[in-house]
């Protein structure tokens, strides 16, 4: 009986010693710096577990042994706390340091910019071509529902989630701007504001003109004068917001185009693009002006007029500029 007891004691003692040695070696291996002498970027997809993450770290030679890394992470109770995202791993990091980066670190932020005046077609095409986003946007968002802005995202983020964030930004902005609107506007609701702001956005790229152009359109609406805006006609043709050619006379005379503001009274049925903050503010607080006409002036801006005679004079000047430009192109 004594022999059995002695054997059990020796076995137990040996197990403890083995465990202590194993734990010590594991600790050493887990905390020793790697031989990687350069910074690396490591990506953890959403939902990827510890086993795969350990394997990919070893494949990229960021760690020496995936099993040691996995045991070390589990021993520290962090196996369910690894984040998804793209992380910067500095040179010569130990497994312990890498674990802390994946658990506590901030994922690398990427950014994308939606230009003011883009249509839903352009935005979805752009998003679906960004390689480090996931999912696919298949349905075009409502025109005017997105705030053109620069947005941050992490590698592997959902395109649909990014799109929803853009729409939420727009809703939040509109709540603020709508409360500060000119109370005498001939616009019944925020949707009509976005429609007109989208037209202003497509009419000019000059920040100091937006309020003036908004004032012209407001004057036209008050006097029941048709808006006569070329960008609305273009949008009605293909919903993309652009043509690879100029408008045809037949298109300007097309009464079947519901967006043809040469033929319809008031506003078109929906926005024709996604207007930026400045264009929305311009419509909500337009310039006080008597002007009801404008035409391109050849400098990137527009010539404004109160009377039709003055406007026709500006149009003749613009046509002279066009003829001169065409002659230069033919040389």
**238 alpha carbon, distance to own chain's centre:** 23
Residue-range domain boundaries for the chain: 2-104, 109-171, 184-330
Give the CA distances from residue 13 to residues 5, 7, 10, in Å, rounded to whole numbers and listed in that order.
12, 10, 5
CA distance 294 to 310: 10
Cβ contacts of 175-180, under 8 Å, gap ≥ 24: 177/277, 177/280, 177/281, 177/284, 178/284, 180/284, 180/285
Instruction: Say whether 80 sits in a helix, a strand or coil.
Output: coil
Q: 2-104 domain in CATH 3.10.620.30?
A: no
Phi, psi of 45 (to 5 degrees): -65, 155
Give the CA distances from residue 130 to residues 36, 80, 137, 152, in Å, rounded to whole numbers and listed in that order.
30, 30, 11, 13
Q: Name the region of 144 (left: φ>0; alpha: ψ -120 to 50; beta: rest).
A: left
Helix (H) or strand (E) holding 111: strand 109-113
Helix (H) or strand (E) holding 152: strand 150-154
Asked whether 236 and 257 are in contact (CB, 8 A), the reply is yes
Strand partners, 111: 152
The dihedral built from the CA positions of residue 144, 201, 133 and 92, taken in this order, carries a sign that is negative
CA distance 115 to 54: 40
| CA Rg value for the chain | 32
For the chain, the first-to-last Cα distance in angstroms comes to: 113
Instruction: Say whether 44 sits in a helix, a strand or coil.
Output: strand
Taking 70 as the pLDDT cut, the residues of the chain under it are 1-15, 18-19, 22-25, 324-331
Asked whether 95 and 30 are in contact (CB, 8 A), the reply is yes
């Amino acid at each position: 009986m004594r022999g059995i007891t002695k054997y059990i004691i020796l076995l137990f003692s040996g197990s403890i010693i083995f465990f202590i040695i194993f734990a010590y070696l594991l600790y050493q291996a887990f905390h020793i710096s790697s031989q990687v002498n350069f910074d690396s970027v490591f990506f953890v997809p959403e939902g990827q577990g510890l086993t795969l993450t350990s394997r990919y770290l070893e494949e990229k030679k960021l760690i020496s042994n995936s099993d040691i890394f996995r045991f070390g992470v589990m021993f520290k109770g962090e196996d369910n706390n690894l984040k998804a995202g793209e992380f910067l791993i500095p040179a010569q990091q130990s497994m312990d340091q890498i674990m802390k980066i994946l658990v506590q670190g901030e994922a690398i932020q990427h950014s994308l910019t939606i230009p003011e005046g883009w249509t839903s077609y352009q935005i979805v095409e752009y998003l679906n071509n960004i390689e480090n986003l996931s999912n696919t946007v298949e349905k075009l968002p409502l025109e005017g529902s997105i705030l053109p802005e620069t947005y941050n995202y992490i590698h592997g983020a959902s395109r649909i989630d990014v799109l929803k964030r853009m729409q939420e930004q727009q809703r939040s902005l509109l709540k603020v701007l709508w409360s500060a609107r000119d109370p005498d506007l001939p616009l019944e609701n925020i949707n009509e504001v976005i429609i007109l702001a989208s037209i202003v956005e497509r009419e000019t790229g000059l920040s100091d003109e937006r309020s003036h152009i908004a004032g012209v359109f407001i004057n036209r609406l008050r006097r029941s004068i048709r808006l006569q805006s070329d960008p609305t006609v273009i949008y009605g043709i293909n919903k993309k917001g652009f043509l690879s050619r100029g408008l045809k006379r037949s298109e300007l005379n097309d009464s079947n185009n519901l967006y043809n503001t040469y033929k319809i009274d008031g506003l078109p049925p929906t926005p024709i693009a996604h207007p930026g903050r400045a264009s929305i503010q311009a419509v909500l607080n337009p310039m006080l002006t008597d002007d009801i006409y404008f035409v391109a002036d050849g400098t990137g801006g527009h010539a404004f007029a109160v009377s039709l005679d003055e406007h026709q004079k500006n149009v003749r000047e613009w046509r002279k500029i066009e003829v001169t430009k065409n002659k230069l192109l033919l040389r």
